[in-house]
Amino acid sequence: MRTSFIEHSYEWLRTTSVWTSVFRRGPARTNRTRSLAIFGNLFLHAVPVKARESSLRVRATYYLGSISFFLLFLLMVTGTLLMLYYHPAVPQAYLDMKDLRFAVSNGVFLRNLHRVAANLMVIAVFAHLLHVFYRGGYRPPHEFNWVVGVILLLLTLFLSYTGYLLPWDQLAFWAITVGTNIISAMPLIGRDTRFLLLGGNLVGENALLRFYVLHCVILPLFTVVLVAVHFWRIQKDGGLTPTEYPKREDDGE
């Protein structure tokens, strides 16, 4: 009885729009469906087997997406260079910022380039999301990629927020204090979430270390993986929006 219930639930799940948006095939029971399972997996087959010609054309959507990707690449390069001169400890973090300004060659330029690129990336990703929404990119069969794009916007905001504390100056300290106090006002999980972020009840060295790990390791890894999935699904879906190509009756997809 329990096995029958699980099989019935699985068959029902495969008919939902969420399942069909994420997985564009049936169960891998034949050689053909097993091949489709490999072709339809980014990590097993990174390059799509085929792509619509219309999905390769350059449009305003691709300008915004390409700008966002270029800014992400620039942030990764400048952030890696900044890590060579930074210690996530109190009070050394603030002293490192002073060294970048007064002692390190081109340190001010490197730090400002990283900061300006971060602000521009937030604007570019938000504009990209608005443009795709205006073009109907949330409609079937692009729901999954739309959700991935929204998550990428949130990751961009979280990356900007976690990087705010790293200079360890008065502006960073009080900005994170206000932000985490707002988080603690959430019902049920607010206080626990604030405690988890700060590693305690106050903005101190534990918070600096946790924000450093989030900003330099955890969030960038998630962002890079989702960007790869996002670009891959654009080619698989024939573009970012369903209006970018005409629907043909003889189309097998």
Which architecture, in CATH terms, is 56-237?
Up-down Bundle (1.20)
Confidence (pLDDT) at 63 = 82
Share of the chain above pLDDT 70, in %: 72
Confidence (pLDDT) at 39 = 66
The reported pTM is 0.79
Contact criterion met (CB below 8 Å) for 166 and 208: yes
Distances (CA, A) of 85 to 42, 90, 100, 167: 36, 15, 8, 12
Cα–Cα distance, 215 to 93 (Å, whole number): 15
Distances (CA, A) of 109 to 104, 106, 123: 10, 5, 21
Q: Whole-number mean pLDDT of the chain?
A: 83
Q: 42 — alpha (psi -120 to 50), left (phi > 0) or beta?
A: alpha
DSSP at 46: -
pLDDT tens sequence across 77-132? 999 999 999 999 999 999 999 999 999 999 999 999 999 999 999 999 999 999 88
**Token digits of residue 1:** 């009885």
pLDDT tens sequence across 166-190? 999 999 999 999 999 999 999 989 9
pLDDT tens sequence across 202-230? 999 999 999 999 999 999 999 999 999 99
